[in-house]
Chain A
Amino acid sequence: MIDILMPRLSDTMEEGAIAIWHKKPGDTVAIGDILVEIETDKTTMEYEAYDAGVLHTILVPEGEQATIGMAIAQLDDGSSTEPTFQPAPAARAQAAEEGGGSTAAAATHTSPPEVPIAADQRLLATPLVRRLAREHAIDLTEVTGSGPGGRIVRADIDDALARPSSTAGASTTTGVDAPQPTTVPTALDDGRQSTAVPFDKSRQVISRRLTESATTTPQFTVTAAADVEDLLALRVDLNAHLASSERPKISVNDLLVRACAIALREHPEVNASYSPEGRGQTLLHERVNIGIAVASDTGLVVPVITDADQKTASQIATESRRLAGLAKERSLGTADMSGGTFTISNLGMYGVEQFTAIINPPQGAILAVGAAQLEPVVIDGAVQIRHRMRYTLSADHRIIDGALAARFLAALTKLVEQPLNIIA
């Protein structure tokens, strides 16, 4: 019997959700067969079988999550006639009852995938865990096992070990005689009639990473405005030419990506990341890879246009169109979203005048772009009506100072106002 484990499908992945099982128990599995589709923090990926056999048990059903390394299914390869676990769907509750365990653990949003444990099988925990549980009075029926088949391993009781005093108290409430919660904790009833919508994988990652960015990075913002009359005219011209040769149109954002890439090339200190190595370092990135924040149906994603400084505006247009298409189909791969050195978030299409964005870690800066809007402007002592656009750079002050941010924006504004330099 072989345990099929939740694989690590991306660098930032910590757990994955089962999207679709392509095999069901009893199905023959050949090496290379698609076993399952797994939804990670970034995308949904197919996972192939590395061993042949017959799928014996699915341990993590569709829609449930598992941490990396947790067994999600068992494959019978003929190596053992006895399955490690007898599937017994009703057994878990029974085991909890027998052990006097609380069912509350199963009601939290981090509830473990249903690991079938036969009624006659004891709770799975390693000898190390059992010893530590004895020494620290930890009730193992309250602990979620992340090892093979749901086995409780040392890593699962880190939290419990970290709070020695409260665990002893907590464990007494789960004794056999203690009153047991009989229902799921009720929804918050505070007059707001709330409904809890659990985070999906990508929301979890956004939440974690942006909290980290906002709370651990000293960020400041610098705003500039540019006259985009010439830029808009150039775009109309360009698209007229492109349309005649049946090439995809270029958006204002594509031109901004290109302009940012050139400005980053001029100011490489902005194309950088903070690193805590040694006593702190500025990591200067040789490549200019620009992420574009895309609001897709499935959430916020940031596909990356690599080497944007070496691509023409029409290449960037083609590339961003392809990435937006993939984002819509939810089939962006890890490679499509990795390696960004700078991000552009553009809310101009919603008529937003200006806003600030939170840095996408570990990048050093992000540009928040507003809409091109008609404004009265004083030119040569006369008021004229011109299209203007505002953009705001959020920068990591550990590596970028205000003057540098201002110089970068000045370079960007110069490009935007003399747009032939963008496509030259």
Chain B
Amino acid sequence: MSIMTYRQALNDTLRSEMLRDENVLLIGEEIGVFEGSYKITAGLLAEFGEKRVRDTPIAEEGFTGAAIGAAMLGLRPVVELMTINFSLLALDQIVNHAAKIYGMFGGQARVPLVIRTPGGGGQQLGATHSQNIELYYAFVPGMKVVAPSSPADAKALLLAAIRDDDPVLFLENLALYNTKGEVPDDDTPAEIGRAAITREGADITVVAYSRMAAIALEVAEQLAEADGIDVEVVDLRSLRPLDRDTVIASVKKTHCAVVLEDDWLTYGIGAEIAATISDGAFDWLDAPVRRVAMAEVPMPYSKPLETAALPSAEDAATAIRQTLAAVARRA
């Protein structure tokens, strides 16, 4: 076990997987000589050479398509899209090719592709570069979407994604890269499609993923200390497949839930979770499921407005308190 940043966990894992399997290769913009816009691929060009760490032109559709072709023929490409916003340029390749080839062609070829890409706002990158559109991919059968919230999960889920035989969108987050945590030394992959209860609690279930799952833990500790509220945190880790059982089991225990998400409220991940709870735990619910999400605006550039638009720990705490007030347990 060692303490390291989310960024370092990703870098170490890419390296160890490239050492383990010579079919693993990296492809993307500025990942080689420049070592990645967020330095996730630092040192890898020097160690593995141009054949396995490919800098590309600014052409997301082209290099994502090339990676799909490489995957069909047995390589295990790990694409870096500089941010998830640029995945829109490769949308057709991802949705219409990567996700569908296995099913459309009778299982003749699998697509063991990983697309690593960070989402998230909060960096004053403006409306087009601050989105959380992982939902677009979680919506598509044939895709897998994972979203680690801690350095340990960054490692375990990246190991799982690279070793998975289906296309996996691996969601990182700009605000998480510098967060630190304990990371196991052994290379045990996570099970894709399995959520984690990162904090056990009795009073209320908080469901979240990626950055908001980290916030959920913070808020849970604050509320435990300040108000004696015992929050159970479910970190989804995987948006598709979605671990509905863990969410439902938790709500059956606590009887109420709040969902935290960085994406927009309407049609968001939280809506799917709320529907899941309604389907699976209706007779255990003591309050409506509440959602905390981003303001429904294109992300403002202005710092105060950007901060206001993003869901905060305070927003989460308020929703939790209000939900508990509604079940007459705490104000």
Q: A153: which of B282, B284, B286, B322 is its contact (CB, 8 Å)? A: B286
Docked Cα-Cα span, A147 to B255, in Å, equals: 14
Cβ-defined partner of B327 (8 Å) among A127, A130, A131, A147:
A147
Is B283 a contact of A128 with CB atoms below 8 Å?
yes
In the complex, A129→B255 CA distance in Å? 10
Give Cα A155 to B327, complex, Å: 7
Check if A130 sits within 8 Å of B283, measured CB to CB: yes
Binary contact readout A91-131 vs B (1 if CB under 8 angstroms, 0 otherwise):
00000000000000000000000000000000000111111
B283 touches A154 (CB 8 A): no
Shortest distance in angstroms between B315's beta carbon and chain A's nearest beta carbon?
Answer: 14
CA distance A155 to B330 in the complex (A): 11
Residues of A with C-beta under 8 A to B330: 69
- Which of B255, B282, B328 is in CB contact (< 8 Å) with A69? B328
Indicate which residue in B285, B324, B329, B331 contacts A127 across the interface (CB closer than 8 Å).
B285
The answer on a CB contact under 8 Å between B329 and A126 is: no
Is B287 part of the contact surface with A, judged by Cβ < 8 Å? yes
Q: Do the beta carbons of A154 and B255 come within 8 Å of each other?
A: yes
Residues of A in contact, count (CB < 8 Å):
21
Contacting residues, chain B, for A70 (C-beta < 8 A)? 328
Closest to B255 in A: A128
Knowing A7-B331, A154-B255 touch, does A69 contact B326 (C-beta < 8 A)?
yes
Which residues of chain A have C-beta atoms less than 8 A from B326's C-beta? 69, 147-148, 151, 153
A131 closest partner in B (C-beta): B283
A206 within 8 A of B: no
Q: Check A154 against B331 for contact (C-beta < 8 Å).
A: no
Residue of B nearest to A6 (CB): B331
B329 and A155 form a contact (CB under 8 A): yes
Least Cβ–Cβ distance between A4 and chain B, in angstroms: 12
Compute how far the CA of A146 lies from the CA of B329 in the bound complex, rounded to whole angstroms. 10
Q: Any chain A CB within 8 A of the CB of B275?
A: no
Task: Check A5 against B325 for contact (C-beta < 8 Å).
Answer: yes
Closest chain A residue to B322 by CB distance? A5
Chain B residues with CB under 8 Å of A151's CB are: 326
| Cα A155 to Cα B287 with chains together (Å) | 12
Which of A8, A148, A155, A156 contacts B331 (CB under 8 A)? A8
Residues of chain B within 8 A (CB-CB) of A146 are 328
Q: How many A-B residue pairs have CB under 8 A?
A: 53
Which residues of chain B in 46-75 are interfacial with respect to chain A, using CB atoms and an 8 Å cutoff? none
- Rounded to whole angstroms, the CA-CA distance of A68 and B286 in the bound complex is 17
Interface members, chain B 284-331 (any A CB < 8 Å): 284-287, 322, 324-331
A67 at the interface (CB under 8 A from B): yes
Quote the shortest CB–CB distance from A129 to chain B (angstroms): 7
Q: By the criterion of a CB under 8 Å from any partner CB, how many residues of chain B are at the interface?
A: 16
- A 37-71 to B, binary, CB cutoff 8 A, 1 in contact else 0: 00000000000000000000000000000011110
Contact A155 B255 (CB under 8 A): no
- Report which of A8, A67, A126, A156 forms a contact with B287, defined as CB distance below 8 A: A126
- The answer on a CB contact under 8 Å between B285 and A69 is no
CB-nearest residue of chain B relative to A156? B328
Are A69's CB and B286's CB within 8 A?
no
How many Å lie between the Cα of A126 and that of B255 in the bound state?
Answer: 10
In B190-225, the 8 Å CB interface with A consists of none
CB pair A129–B286 under 8 Å, yes or no, is yes
Is there contact, CB below 8 Å, between B283 and A127?
yes
Q: Given the complex, which residues of B lie within 8 Å of A7, measured CB to CB?
A: 331
Question: Smallest CB-CB separation from A70: which chain B residue?
Answer: B328
Residues from chain A with Cβ under 8 Å of B322 in the complex: 5
Residues of A within 8 A of B329 (CB): 155
Report how far A8 CA is from B326 CA in the complex, Å.
Answer: 13
Q: Do A155 and B328 have beta carbons less than 8 Å apart?
A: yes
Tell me which residues across on chain B come within 8 A of A68, comparing CB atoms. 325, 328, 331
Give the nearest-CB partner of A134 in chain B: B283
CB 8 Å contact bits of A151-175 with B (1 = contact, 0 = none): 1011110000000000000000000
Task: Flag if B284 contacts A69 (CB, 8 Å).
Answer: no
Among B282, B324, B326, B330, residue most surrounded by chain A Cβ atoms (within 10 Å)? B326
**Could you list 13 further interchain pairs (A-B, Cβ under 8 angstroms) beyond the known A69-B331, A151-B326, A155-B328?**
A69-B324, A70-B328, A126-B285, A126-B286, A126-B287, A127-B284, A127-B286, A128-B255, A128-B283, A128-B284, A129-B286, A153-B287, A154-B255
A-B CB proximity, top 10 nearest? A69-B325, A8-B331, A131-B283, A146-B328, A155-B328, A128-B286, A154-B286, A126-B286, A153-B327, A127-B285
A-B contact pairs, 6 of them (CB 8 A): A69-B331, A128-B284, A147-B327, A148-B326, A154-B255, A155-B327
Q: Which residues of B contact A (CB under 8 A)?
A: 255, 282-287, 322, 324-331
